[in-house]
Structure 1
């Protein structure tokens, strides 16, 4: 997909961060937008920045709600008559808890948004995407979908699952020759509010700033890389210098990466 002029682009989690940056980039490229975020105020801010509510279909809802997501898909098709690109970007995090410290309720909460939200978005729009000669699904995983990270077992679980679902779907669509390109995106540290909005982050400003120091890539640069990956029909896309370094080291020496992560975890006790 080289040209986005008049293409219908769906983006979840568009109220801030990568989602907002993508919305603005696609608006500049001439796309027609259908935007979602659970935070209605943040969503309306993005809509205003991207051309105003008269030009953009938008709906605030929790992507973990299956019925709400499928209703959104129906309304997007009713509004625009088609869909060309779906970007499942909405996601949440849990702040610095080990696998055993995370409650089952919290596992269910993060799986509902990060994993099921992505699956609902992919599956609800897939039949409509297959009607186009060329279309795409882009699911935002993480470098934590490539390697397991200490104190992020719940988040990693969702991001590994996103990669597994997405790459399986990518192969299936190629086998079926549907014309749907499917991309799994793995950003490193992006300068967003995900740490501040993480469950249990609380008011621990020092800990939050420690995490945010690891965020090296702006949302705008991430959006630019994702759009370039869509154009090149990439199946797996690594975004950011930190992600690329960890990806390379994981493939080169898993033992070294494990040693490095143990040292990292010990410094954060």
Structure 2
């Protein structure tokens, strides 16, 4: 899809961060929008920013972990807009804690949003994308879908799953000669509120000497890329039909490290956590 003008895009997690930036960037290119988010206030704020943009915008309050809700939304998008050409499965949450500490309900929660939300969004929209004659699926993984970190087993599992799912999806579509393609996105530290809305288990303190909230605030200082730059990189990847998009110098550096030290990088990360703990 070289040109997004007069196309229709569905974006999840559009109430803030990358999702909001994607909506604004798409509107600037003349793309009509169907937006959803679990946060009604944030979604309304995004809609207000789009007022006067000249594109048709519809909004739906939706938890992407709700299978029936996602399928109903996809049907409603086509009913409202006549077609859909692009779906950006961007909504995501974060979770920290040791494997021994994190409860199964928290694992189910993060997989429900980060992985199953992507699966539902892809499968619900894929028939509509193919019917449009020209479509693209964008699934947002993470730099933590390329490398694992201490205390991030739930987040890592969900983002590695998104990567595997999307890379296989792209190959399915190419083999079938589908008019739809797929891109997996791996952002580094993006200046969003994901760290502030994360769930933290008490085991974070046991391993780091800091509470989950304190560790989150410290980690948030490493977020160096704006949502606007992330959105621009994603849409550039769509236009160029890139299989993978790395966002930020930190993502590119970490990708290179993992390629250089496929398992050795783990020693570096565990040493870094131990060092911070001894200093703290």
TM over 0.5: yes
Q: Distance in 1 between matches of 2:260 and 2:212?
A: 36
1:218 paired to 2:219: no
CA drift at 1:209: 2.5
Instruction: Please state whether the residue corresponding to 1:74 is helix, strand or coil.
Output: helix
Structure 2 alignment gaps of length 5 or more: 203-210
CA drift at 1:255: 4.0
TM-score, length basis structure 2: 0.92
Q: Distance in 2 between matches of 1:234 and 1:58?
A: 28
Q: Distance in 2 between matches of 1:117 and 1:33?
A: 19
Partner of 2:175: 175
Instruction: Please state whether the residue corresponding to 1:2 is helix, strand or coil.
Output: coil
1:262 paired to 2:270: yes
Partner of 2:188: 188
Q: Do the aligned partners of 1:4 and 1:30 also contact (CA within 8 Å) in 2? A: yes
CA drift at 1:83: 0.4
Q: Which moved more, 1:219-228 or 1:53-62?
A: 53-62
Instruction: Please state whether the residue corresponding to 2:131 is helix, strand or coil.
Output: coil
> What is the aligned counterpart of 2:251 among 243, 251, 262?
243
TM-score, length basis structure 1: 0.95
The 1:20/1:45 distance shift into structure 2, 3 A limit, reads same
Q: Distance in 2 between matches of 1:174 and 1:33?
A: 26
Structure 1 alignment gaps of length 5 or more: none
CA deviation string 1:46-92 (max 9, x = no partner): 01101279931110011100111111011001001100000000000
CA drift at 1:207: 2.8
CA deviation string 1:132-165 (max 9, x = no partner): 3321000000010011111100000000000011
CA drift at 1:43: 0.4
How many correspondences in the alignment?
268
The 1:205/1:70 distance shift into structure 2, 3 A limit, reads closer
Q: Do the aligned partners of 1:188 and 1:240 also contact (CA within 8 Å) in 2? A: yes
Q: Do the aligned partners of 2:102 and 2:201 also contact (CA within 8 Å) in 1? A: no
Q: Distance in 2 between matches of 1:75 and 1:52?
A: 23
After the TM superposition, list the runs of 4 or more consecutive aligned residues in structure 1 that deviate by more than 6 angstroms: 201-204
Q: Do the aligned partners of 2:149 and 2:266 also contact (CA within 8 Å) in 1? A: no
Q: Distance in 2 between matches of 1:245 and 1:44?
A: 36
RMSD: 1.8
Partner of 2:109: 109
Instruction: Please state whether the residue corresponding to 1:171 is helix, strand or coil.
Output: helix
